[in-house]
Amino acid sequence: MLGASRILKMLIQVTILTHSALLVWQFRRDLTSLAAVEHLASSVQHALERADILVNNAAVRGPASLLHELAPEHWDEVFNTNVRGVFFAIRAFAPLMIAAGKGHIINISSLASKNPVPNRAVYAASKSALNGLTYSVAEELRSHNIRVSVVCPGSTDTSFGRHPGKDTSKMLQADDIAHVVAMLVTQAPQAFVSEVLIRPTMKP
Protein backbone atom coordinates (compact mmCIF):
# COMPACT_ATOMS: atom_id res chain seq x y z
CA MET A 1 0.00 0.00 0.00
CA LEU A 2 1.15 3.51 -0.65
CA GLY A 3 2.06 5.67 2.31
CA ALA A 4 3.25 9.18 2.99
CA SER A 5 5.10 8.71 6.27
CA ARG A 6 8.03 6.54 7.27
CA ILE A 7 5.68 4.29 9.22
CA LEU A 8 4.05 2.57 6.26
CA LYS A 9 1.58 -0.20 5.78
CA MET A 10 3.02 -3.46 4.45
CA LEU A 11 0.63 -5.98 3.02
CA ILE A 12 1.70 -9.55 3.71
CA GLN A 13 -0.60 -12.00 2.02
CA VAL A 14 -0.54 -15.50 3.43
CA THR A 15 -2.59 -18.09 1.60
CA ILE A 16 -3.91 -21.06 3.55
CA LEU A 17 -4.86 -23.80 1.12
CA THR A 18 -7.10 -25.63 3.58
CA HIS A 19 -10.72 -26.00 2.50
CA SER A 20 -10.06 -23.40 -0.21
CA ALA A 21 -9.74 -20.68 2.44
CA LEU A 22 -7.78 -17.49 1.87
CA LEU A 23 -6.40 -15.70 4.90
CA VAL A 24 -5.05 -12.19 4.42
CA TRP A 25 -3.34 -10.40 7.28
CA GLN A 26 -2.46 -6.73 7.16
CA PHE A 27 0.30 -5.37 9.38
CA ARG A 28 1.59 -1.87 10.02
CA ARG A 29 5.39 -1.70 10.33
CA ASP A 30 8.29 0.66 9.75
CA LEU A 31 9.85 -0.77 6.58
CA THR A 32 13.04 1.19 7.19
CA SER A 33 13.66 -0.83 10.37
CA LEU A 34 15.18 -4.26 9.80
CA ALA A 35 14.28 -5.29 13.35
CA ALA A 36 10.61 -4.40 12.78
CA VAL A 37 10.40 -6.33 9.52
CA GLU A 38 12.23 -9.35 10.95
CA HIS A 39 9.84 -9.34 13.93
CA LEU A 40 6.92 -9.38 11.51
CA ALA A 41 8.37 -12.32 9.59
CA SER A 42 8.94 -14.15 12.86
CA SER A 43 5.33 -13.53 13.90
CA VAL A 44 4.04 -14.89 10.59
CA GLN A 45 6.26 -17.95 10.85
CA HIS A 46 5.15 -18.62 14.42
CA ALA A 47 1.46 -18.25 13.63
CA LEU A 48 1.24 -19.79 10.16
CA GLU A 49 4.57 -21.54 9.55
CA ARG A 50 4.94 -20.12 6.05
CA ALA A 51 4.39 -17.12 3.78
CA ASP A 52 3.32 -17.83 0.21
CA ILE A 53 3.03 -14.35 -1.27
CA LEU A 54 4.90 -11.15 -0.48
CA VAL A 55 3.77 -7.94 -2.21
CA ASN A 56 6.14 -5.02 -1.75
CA ASN A 57 3.94 -2.03 -2.54
CA ALA A 58 4.89 0.64 0.00
CA ALA A 59 6.53 3.69 -1.54
CA VAL A 60 7.12 7.39 -1.17
CA ARG A 61 7.72 9.81 -4.03
CA GLY A 62 9.48 12.68 -2.30
CA PRO A 63 9.02 16.35 -3.18
CA ALA A 64 8.92 17.61 -6.75
CA SER A 65 12.38 19.08 -7.24
CA LEU A 66 15.22 19.43 -9.68
CA LEU A 67 17.80 16.87 -8.62
CA HIS A 68 20.53 19.43 -7.96
CA GLU A 69 18.17 21.25 -5.59
CA LEU A 70 16.93 18.13 -3.74
CA ALA A 71 17.82 17.95 -0.07
CA PRO A 72 19.89 14.84 0.75
CA GLU A 73 17.41 13.82 3.46
CA HIS A 74 14.66 13.56 0.83
CA TRP A 75 16.91 11.34 -1.30
CA ASP A 76 17.49 9.11 1.72
CA GLU A 77 13.79 8.98 2.58
CA VAL A 78 12.83 7.80 -0.91
CA PHE A 79 15.58 5.20 -1.22
CA ASN A 80 15.19 3.94 2.34
CA THR A 81 11.53 3.17 1.70
CA ASN A 82 11.42 2.24 -1.98
CA VAL A 83 14.59 0.13 -2.13
CA ARG A 84 15.98 -0.56 1.34
CA GLY A 85 12.51 -1.46 2.64
CA VAL A 86 12.09 -4.03 -0.13
CA PHE A 87 15.53 -5.45 0.65
CA PHE A 88 14.55 -5.82 4.31
CA ALA A 89 11.25 -7.51 3.43
CA ILE A 90 12.88 -10.00 1.05
CA ARG A 91 15.68 -10.65 3.54
CA ALA A 92 13.12 -11.47 6.21
CA PHE A 93 10.58 -13.45 4.20
CA ALA A 94 12.61 -15.29 1.55
CA PRO A 95 13.92 -17.85 4.09
CA LEU A 96 10.32 -18.86 4.87
CA MET A 97 9.66 -19.43 1.18
CA ILE A 98 12.93 -21.31 0.69
CA ALA A 99 12.00 -23.61 3.57
CA ALA A 100 8.59 -24.23 1.97
CA GLY A 101 10.10 -24.81 -1.47
CA LYS A 102 7.87 -22.25 -3.17
CA GLY A 103 6.66 -18.68 -3.07
CA HIS A 104 5.91 -15.46 -4.91
CA ILE A 105 7.47 -12.05 -4.41
CA ILE A 106 5.85 -9.17 -6.29
CA ASN A 107 7.55 -5.78 -6.30
CA ILE A 108 5.44 -2.82 -7.40
CA SER A 109 7.60 -0.42 -9.39
CA SER A 110 6.49 2.27 -11.84
CA LEU A 111 6.72 3.28 -15.48
CA ALA A 112 8.74 6.17 -14.06
CA SER A 113 11.56 3.62 -14.06
CA LYS A 114 11.29 3.37 -17.85
CA ASN A 115 10.72 7.00 -18.86
CA PRO A 116 12.27 10.37 -18.03
CA VAL A 117 10.38 12.15 -15.24
CA PRO A 118 11.59 15.74 -14.78
CA ASN A 119 11.49 16.93 -11.16
CA ARG A 120 11.07 13.34 -9.97
CA ALA A 121 14.56 12.00 -10.62
CA VAL A 122 14.96 10.50 -7.16
CA TYR A 123 11.67 8.59 -7.47
CA ALA A 124 12.54 7.37 -10.98
CA ALA A 125 16.00 6.32 -9.78
CA SER A 126 14.56 4.41 -6.82
CA LYS A 127 12.15 2.51 -9.06
CA SER A 128 14.91 1.73 -11.56
CA ALA A 129 16.92 0.34 -8.66
CA LEU A 130 13.92 -1.75 -7.63
CA ASN A 131 13.70 -3.20 -11.14
CA GLY A 132 17.36 -4.20 -11.07
CA LEU A 133 16.97 -5.70 -7.62
CA THR A 134 13.97 -7.73 -8.81
CA TYR A 135 15.71 -9.12 -11.91
CA SER A 136 18.71 -10.29 -9.87
CA VAL A 137 16.78 -11.73 -6.93
CA ALA A 138 14.56 -13.60 -9.38
CA GLU A 139 17.61 -15.46 -10.63
CA GLU A 140 18.88 -16.07 -7.09
CA LEU A 141 15.60 -17.67 -5.98
CA ARG A 142 14.48 -19.51 -9.12
CA SER A 143 16.12 -22.76 -8.04
CA HIS A 144 13.98 -22.65 -4.89
CA ASN A 145 10.77 -22.48 -6.94
CA ILE A 146 10.23 -18.87 -5.90
CA ARG A 147 9.03 -16.48 -8.60
CA VAL A 148 10.06 -12.85 -8.22
CA SER A 149 8.29 -10.37 -10.48
CA VAL A 150 8.05 -6.63 -10.92
CA VAL A 151 4.95 -4.68 -11.94
CA CYS A 152 5.40 -1.23 -13.49
CA PRO A 153 2.12 0.72 -13.53
CA GLY A 154 1.56 3.96 -15.37
CA SER A 155 -0.78 6.73 -14.24
CA THR A 156 -2.84 5.33 -11.38
CA ASP A 157 -5.67 7.00 -9.46
CA THR A 158 -3.93 7.23 -6.09
CA SER A 159 -2.47 10.07 -4.06
CA PHE A 160 0.64 9.62 -6.23
CA GLY A 161 -1.17 9.82 -9.54
CA ARG A 162 -3.44 12.80 -9.08
CA HIS A 163 -2.34 15.79 -11.12
CA PRO A 164 -4.34 18.87 -12.11
CA GLY A 165 -5.85 18.50 -15.54
CA LYS A 166 -5.81 14.70 -15.61
CA ASP A 167 -9.00 12.72 -16.13
CA THR A 168 -8.98 10.23 -13.25
CA SER A 169 -11.67 8.13 -14.96
CA LYS A 170 -9.07 7.21 -17.59
CA MET A 171 -6.37 6.36 -15.08
CA LEU A 172 -5.53 2.89 -13.81
CA GLN A 173 -7.35 1.87 -10.64
CA ALA A 174 -5.99 -0.08 -7.69
CA ASP A 175 -8.05 -3.08 -8.81
CA ASP A 176 -6.18 -3.09 -12.13
CA ILE A 177 -2.89 -3.57 -10.31
CA ALA A 178 -4.41 -6.19 -8.01
CA HIS A 179 -5.63 -8.07 -11.09
CA VAL A 180 -2.07 -8.21 -12.43
CA VAL A 181 -0.76 -9.47 -9.10
CA ALA A 182 -3.44 -12.17 -9.05
CA MET A 183 -2.45 -13.20 -12.57
CA LEU A 184 1.21 -13.48 -11.57
CA VAL A 185 0.57 -15.72 -8.56
CA THR A 186 -1.81 -18.03 -10.43
CA GLN A 187 0.47 -18.87 -13.36
CA ALA A 188 1.00 -22.53 -14.10
CA PRO A 189 4.05 -23.96 -12.30
CA GLN A 190 6.13 -24.04 -15.48
CA ALA A 191 5.44 -20.38 -16.33
CA PHE A 192 7.18 -17.32 -14.92
CA VAL A 193 6.22 -13.75 -15.85
CA SER A 194 9.15 -11.66 -14.68
CA GLU A 195 7.92 -8.17 -15.56
CA VAL A 196 4.61 -6.48 -16.37
CA LEU A 197 4.17 -2.98 -17.79
CA ILE A 198 0.62 -1.69 -17.44
CA ARG A 199 -0.69 1.68 -18.55
CA PRO A 200 -4.07 3.32 -19.12
CA THR A 201 -5.77 2.46 -22.41
CA MET A 202 -6.44 6.15 -23.04
CA LYS A 203 -4.02 8.84 -21.91
CA PRO A 204 -5.54 10.70 -18.98
Task: Provide the annotated active-site residues.
Answer: 123
Q: Supply the Cα-derived Rg of the chain in whole angstroms.
A: 17
Q: How far apart are the first and last CA of the chain?
A: 22
Burial of 19 (0-12, 13-18, 19+ CB in 10 A): exposed
DSSP state of 1: -
d(CA 109, CA 71): 23
Task: Report whether 69 contacts 123 (CB < 8 A).
Answer: no
The DSSP secondary structure of 57-89, one letter per residue, reads ----------GGG--HHHHHHHHIIIIIHHHHH
Which of 92, 176, 186 shows the shortest CA–CA distance to 147? 186
